[in-house]
Amino acid sequence: MTQVKIENIVKQYGSVSVLKGINLVIEPGEFFTLLGPSGCGKTTLLRTIAGFLTQDSGAIYFDGECIDGYPAHKRNTGMVFQNYAIFPHLNVYDNIAYGLRNRRFSRQGIEKKVADAVHLVRLDGLEKRMPRELSGGQQQRVILARAMVIEPRVLLMDEPLSNLDAKLRVAMRGDIRALQRKVGITTIYVTHDQEEALAISDRIAVMDAGLVQQIGKPAEVYVHPVNPFVADFVGATNMLNARLVKYDADARRAWFDLGTGSPWQVPLASAPRGDQLALAVRPESLSFAGGVSAGANCIEAQIADATYSGAAIRYQVRLDNGQILQIQDHNPDQSAIRQLGERVQLVCDPARVLVFEGGAHGG
Amino acid sequence: MAVNAMPLRRAKISRYWQNFGFWNIVTFGAFALLLFFLVYPLLAVFGQSLNSKTGDLLEGYRKFFSQPYYSNSLTNSLLVSIPATIGSLLIGVPLAYIVTRYSIPGRALIRSAVVITLLSPPFIGAYAWVVMLGRAGLVNKFLENFGAQVPSIYGPVGLTFVFTITHYPFVFLVVSSAIRSIDQSIEDAARNLGSNEIKTLFTVILPILLPSITAGVLLSFMTIVADFGTPMILGESFRVLPTHIYSEFINEMGGNPTMASAMSVILIALCLLALALQRYFAFKTSYNAQCVRPLEMRQPHGVTGALMIIFAGLVIFVSLLPIIVIFVSSFSIGRGSIVTSSLSLGNYERVLYNVTAAITNSFTLATISAAIDVLLAMLIAYVLVRGKTRWGGLLDSLVALPNAIPGTVIAVGFIIVFNQPPLLLTGTWMILVVSYVVRRLPYAVRACVAMLQQIDSSIEEASVNLGVPPMRTFVRVVVPLMAPAILAGGVMTWVTAISELSSTILLYYGPFSTMTVKIFSNVFTNEFGTASALEMILITATFVPLFLMYRFLGERAEQAL
């Protein structure tokens, strides 16, 4: 198991900075995800670790050894590509054996290792098949076996599931995670799918605009996002512009004016700076107040739209100041489904409100 | 930062040598080859055209345009090329549409016949028509019994006819591949918006095809205007640019090298203009990007259906007739006239015994050229597609240039340049190989480029990632994946090299004469029987590899053309 240390990596294309000083330490055996929107630099970072790109400055260490001097083919990283990059002219067996053949193993050694790898990814009996005779999921497993059989120091995965359909994607990510735990290999996984990242990772680095915005366990990133970008990118979030009315330092409690309805009370460890603030509220932290009007942290609204998805129903509601909020209602009773245009009272769990300095971007 | 400054720099330097060093050498070599064996001879031709004793640099050109003896060959060239190009348009486009859209009987046969026509040397077609309609022709003799006369196959009319029937395949192939890249949804949309079948054809399908049609037509014009063998056999006193250049150049008494060069420059200008336009229009076709569901096949029915089948049948019959005639006459006895009742293998015996060297030469030269071309094309294509050089655009244009250079002209250039030390190539077999390699390089490169563009570079990265160094990755992953293109490019080079006449006739030297040269001289001495036997050997030598290529590659083979 290898520890990967990324130190101050900077990469520019002409005048465009793609990576603006990335620092990460990925622990041995960890499943670490780089999460971010397209163009955030996550794939560039992964390709730099693999050696396909050279950073302008900074260094990468595997177990304390600087690997920058090694070309891509000597780094011993196993990469899983977005579009599979399966060798179309080789069958399953030869695809998996490809990396081993270059390493001067004995014939028996290769046969044994390939057989183990085939078994590990459950492709037994398909060794002689050509790639075009395999389903998407099977091709994915060939690639996984091909990358793992060379016993790389680090497994690098570049959006490996993006070409699969939704059901298979969920099944495959479970497989990948189980496999990674079994082998215990340090893994760096790139994705733009926040749900996938939350489900699969030990830790996540949320990236935007060439910078790491936050590093943490999935629950930390979801529950305690450090800035509005992370709050918005990881899970859906309602952003409300708010003005600080007062802060009670003894009770560690703040009151905010939302420009509509009565002020909200939010527990807060320290006084926020400035008085233009943004409150972030997850759709599942809002609920309908059962008829009781004007309670604490209540707000009046009108149902604007509803999306029914079986296990839950998501409403869009319009506040009196015109702003649209999202609310998630789990296990809705059929009789409790709200009608369009219906006026409702919303109540918010104050413990789950996040306060960011500097106002919301847009709405 | 200070700690890792060293390894980083070392990495950059070592990677530079490992990955880019080799490809820089390839780029440099490709440029050197093309500059030395293509640009330099052409410049020499241009230089010689300015050479005059009176000190008037443009004397040659002035003379060309003022004396009908010279200017007539330009007029003549245009006089047959333009109608023949229009003819190939009028045959090629409808035939492509019928064969690609209607399930008429024998479609596979029609396609093969078109490819056969494209790849048999045009002068073989010309010669076969002489056998049929020439002075001692089969048909003429037959009709004379009834006192009837057929129009002469010699001169401009016959030339136009033969050019049309040998060059429509260029239009056909370009257009039919364009038709196959139109998505059915385009036609459905037009029909859905209220256009009927005819209106859809004229307002949607043909406009989409227009850039391809134009490109095909220009390609056809370019090869007609550069063709040497056909006008040599059928032209007689009607001289076009390539034949006039040839006679001016080889004529030891009263030949005029300055005039030959000036005419070469004018011929190149004509071809370059067509090539530039062709590349422009070919580039414009890139808008039909994705075809998920090709146009549906239709059943031919009614009078229109019958007319289509008759049209296609007629075109194919006329295209294949020369081969049938040559086949029959290769078994006939005697010299001169073909009409005999008994058949024999005498011609083949004579040919195999007397011109063994020419046959061996043809096979050897074609094989060496194809091997060299394939190797070069593979490397050049990789440099171009993977952006291994910043001179890619220039290299790309330079590689396409030989397409526009008539064989006669390049031969003239080679003789001017390689006639003296340090590189005395005239009179060796190497000069033939060099001319084939340079002239056929565009085919092979294009085939490899098209293939390589379909190979995602992440496949190479996967190999490198698994520990295989870049050069070994090229050999173990890229080369096997390019195999179809390498095969197609090799076959194309081989087939066109073995049937090459226009530069061979100027560059060959006694012991290194080829089959095409022998055929040509036999035709002029009226030894039709042996000429036909040689042609059958040549035709077989072209068809067998093509047939094998189609067996291995199927539809992909046609893309390589």
Convert the pLDDT of each residue in A265-295 to its tens digit.
888 888 777 777 888 888 888 888 765 555 6
Inspect the interface and report whether the beta carbons of B8 and A103 lie closer than 8 Å: no
**Residue B9: which pLDDT band, with cuts at 50, 70 and 90?**
very low
Sorted by where each starts, the structural domains of chain A and their CATH numbers stand as 4-231 (3.40.50.300), 236-357 (2.40.50.140)
Inspect the interface and report whether the beta carbons of A81 and B3 lie closer than 8 Å: no
Question: How would you class A61 by CB atoms within 10 Å of its CB: exposed for 0-12, middle for 13-18, buried for 19 or more?
Answer: middle
Beta strands (DSSP E) in chain A are 4-13, 16-26, 31-35, 57-62, 65-66, 77-80, 154-158, 186-191, 203-208, 211-216, 238-248, 253-257, 264-267, 276-281, 286-288, 298-308, 312-319, 324-330, 343-348, 354-357
Give the span between the Cα atoms of B226 and A306, in whole angstroms. Answer: 72
Question: Shortest CA distance to B550 belongs to which of B559, B541, B540?
Answer: B559
Domain-terminating residue out of B320, B351, B381:
B320
Question: Shortest CA distance to B295 belongs to which of B417, B396, B402, B197?
Answer: B197
B305 and B341 together in one domain: no
Give the alpha-carbon dihedral of B360, B363, B366, B368, to 10 degrees.
-70
B416 and B522 together in one domain: yes
The more confidently predicted of residues A159 and B254 is A159
The more confidently predicted of residues B84 and B329 is B84
List B residues 11-50 in contact with A (Cβ-Cβ < 8 A).
11-12, 14-15, 18-19
Residue B400: give the domain boundaries. Answer: 30-41+330-561
pLDDT at B6: 40
Give the span between the Cα atoms of B185 and B192, in whole angstroms. Answer: 10
pLDDT at A294: 53
Q: Is residue B146 part of a domain?
A: no
Question: Shortest CA distance to A131 belongs to which of A84, A80, A179, A82?
Answer: A84
pLDDT at A83: 84
Give the span between the Cα atoms of B216 and B86, in whole angstroms. Answer: 11
On average, the pLDDT of chain A sits at: 87
Question: How would you class A88 by CB atoms within 10 Å of its CB: exposed for 0-12, middle for 13-18, buried for 19 or more?
Answer: middle
Residue pair B464/A79 in contact (Cβ under 8 Å)? The answer is no
Residue B7 has pLDDT above 50, yes or no: no
In B, minimum Cα distance to A8 occurs at B1
pLDDT at B560: 54
Q: Which chain B positions have a beta carbon within 8 Å of A73's beta carbon?
A: 464-470, 473
Q: Is residue B68 part of a domain?
A: no
Residue pair B233/B127 in contact (Cβ under 8 Å)? The answer is yes
Inspect the interface and report whether the beta carbons of B11 and A70 lie closer than 8 Å: yes
The more confidently predicted of residues B111 and B376 is B376
Domain-terminating residue out of B288, B320, B352:
B320
B212 and B314 together in one domain: yes
On average, the pLDDT of chain B sits at: 82
Residue with tokens 């926040």: A194
Inspect the interface and report whether the beta carbons of A71 and B467 lie closer than 8 Å: no
Q: Which chain A positions have a beta carbon within 8 Å of B18's beta carbon?
A: 71
Q: Is residue B62 part of a domain?
A: no
Q: Which chain B positions have a beta carbon within 8 Å of A85's beta carbon?
A: 456, 458-459, 461-462
Interface size between A and B, measured as CB pairs under 8 A:
98
In A, minimum Cα distance to B17 occurs at A71
Please report the ipTM that was assigned to this predicted complex. 0.80
Mutation site for B-interface testing, chosen from A87, A114, A144 by largest number of B Cβ within 10 Å? A87
Mutation site for A-interface testing, chosen from B466, B475, B477, B478 by largest number of A Cβ within 10 Å? B466
Residue B535 has pLDDT above 70, yes or no: yes
Residue pair A304/A316 in contact (Cβ under 8 Å)? The answer is yes
pLDDT at B555: 60
What is the three-state SS of B52-64?
Answer: CCCCCCCHHHHHH
Q: Is residue B542 part of a domain?
A: yes
pLDDT at B82: 94
Inspect the interface and report whether the beta carbons of B466 and A99 lie closer than 8 Å: yes
Inspect the interface and report whether the beta carbons of A146 and B3 lie closer than 8 Å: no
Total domains present in chain B: 2
Residue A337 has pLDDT above 90, yes or no: no
CA dihedral (A160, A165, A170, A171) positive or negative: negative
The more confidently predicted of residues B214 and B290 is B214
**Residue B180: which pLDDT band, with cuts at 50, 70 and 90?**
confident
**Residue A363: which pLDDT band, with cuts at 50, 70 and 90?**
very low
Burial A14-32 (b: 16+ CB within 10 A, else e): eeebbbeebebebeebbbb
pLDDT at A268: 83
Residue with tokens 């239009």: B171
Residue B134 has pLDDT above 90, yes or no: no
Residue among A8, A71, A146 minimizing CB distance to B14: A71
Residue among A55, A71, A75 minimizing CB distance to B15: A71
pLDDT at A95: 92
Residue B313 has pLDDT above 50, yes or no: yes
List B residues 411-470 in contact with A (Cβ-Cβ < 8 A).
456, 458-459, 461-470
pLDDT at A235: 85
B36 and B106 together in one domain: no
B313 and B381 together in one domain: no
Average pLDDT over residues B232-247: 87
Residue among B14, B465, B470 minimizing CB distance to A79: B465
H/E element, B169: helix B155-180
Inspect the interface and report whether the beta carbons of A98 and B11 lie closer than 8 Å: no
pLDDT in tens, A127-150: 999 988 898 889 989 999 999 998
pLDDT in tens, B15-39: 444 555 778 888 888 999 999 999 9
Report the percentage of chain B scoring pLDDT > 70. Answer: 89
Residue B175 has pLDDT above 50, yes or no: yes
**Residue B187: which pLDDT band, with cuts at 50, 70 and 90?**
confident
In B, minimum Cα distance to A65 occurs at B4
Residue among B14, B456, B468 minimizing CB distance to A102: B468
B168 and B295 together in one domain: yes
B338 and B365 together in one domain: yes
CATH of the domain at B503: 1.10.3720.10
> Could you tell me whether strands A154-158 and A77-80 are parallel, antiparallel, or unpaired per DSSP bridges?
parallel
* Coil/strand/helix, residue B157: helix
CA dihedral (B292, B296, B297, B303) positive or negative: negative
Q: Is residue B521 part of a domain?
A: yes
Average pLDDT over residues B173-195: 82
The more confidently predicted of residues A171 and A32 is A32
pLDDT in tens, B387-396: 777 778 888 8
B175 and B283 together in one domain: yes
- Indicate the DSSP class of residue B16: I
B365 and B316 together in one domain: no
Q: Which chain A positions have a beta carbon within 8 Å of B461's beta carbon?
A: 50, 52, 72, 79, 81, 85
Does B556 contact chain A (CB < 8 Å)? no
Residue A8 has pLDDT above 90, yes or no: yes
B286 and B420 together in one domain: no
Residue among B11, B464, B483 minimizing CB distance to A68: B11
Spatial neighbors of A94 by CB under 8 A, at least 6 apart, are A87
Does B293 contact chain A (CB < 8 Å)? no
Residue A236 has pLDDT above 80, yes or no: yes
In B, minimum Cα distance to A55 occurs at B8
CA dihedral (A347, A350, A351, A356) positive or negative: positive
| The A298-308 sheet, strands edge to edge | A286-288, A343-348, A298-308, A312-319, A324-330
Q: Tell me the residue type at A316.
A: Q
pLDDT at B259: 86
Q: Which chain A positions have a beta carbon within 8 Å of B465's beta carbon?
A: 50, 72-73, 75, 77-79, 147
B124 and B195 together in one domain: yes
Residue B336 has pLDDT above 70, yes or no: no
**Residue B4: which pLDDT band, with cuts at 50, 70 and 90?**
very low
The more confidently predicted of residues B10 and B505 is B505
Average pLDDT over residues B469-476: 88
Q: Which chain B positions have a beta carbon within 8 Å of A57's beta carbon?
A: 1, 8
Q: Is residue B520 part of a domain?
A: yes
Give the span between the Cα atoms of A185 and A181, in whole angstroms. Answer: 7
Q: Tell me the residue type at B152.
A: S
Domain-terminating residue out of B283, B299, B320:
B320
Give the span between the Cα atoms of A141 and A120, in whole angstroms. Answer: 9
Q: Is A235 left (phi over 0), alpha (psi -120 to 50) or beta?
A: left
Q: Which chain A positions have a beta carbon within 8 Å of B477's beta carbon?
A: 87
pLDDT in tens, A50-71: 998 899 999 999 999 999 988 8
pLDDT at A14: 84
Residue pair B494/B545 in contact (Cβ under 8 Å)? The answer is yes
CA triplet B491, B496, B497: central angle to 5 degrees? 95
pLDDT in tens, B46-95: 888 887 667 777 888 888 888 888 888 899 999 999 999 999 999 999 99
**Residue A118: which pLDDT band, with cuts at 50, 70 and 90?**
very high
B87 and B170 together in one domain: yes
The number of beta carbons lying within 10 Å of the beta carbon of residue A1 is 13
Residue with tokens 């009108």: A302
Does B8 contact chain A (CB < 8 Å)? yes
**Closest chain A C-alpha to B458 CA, distance in angstroms:** 6
Q: Which chain B positions have a beta carbon within 8 Å of A77's beta carbon?
A: 465
pLDDT in tens, B356-367: 888 888 999 999
pLDDT at A120: 87
Give the span between the Cα atoms of A141 and B487, in whole angstroms. Answer: 33
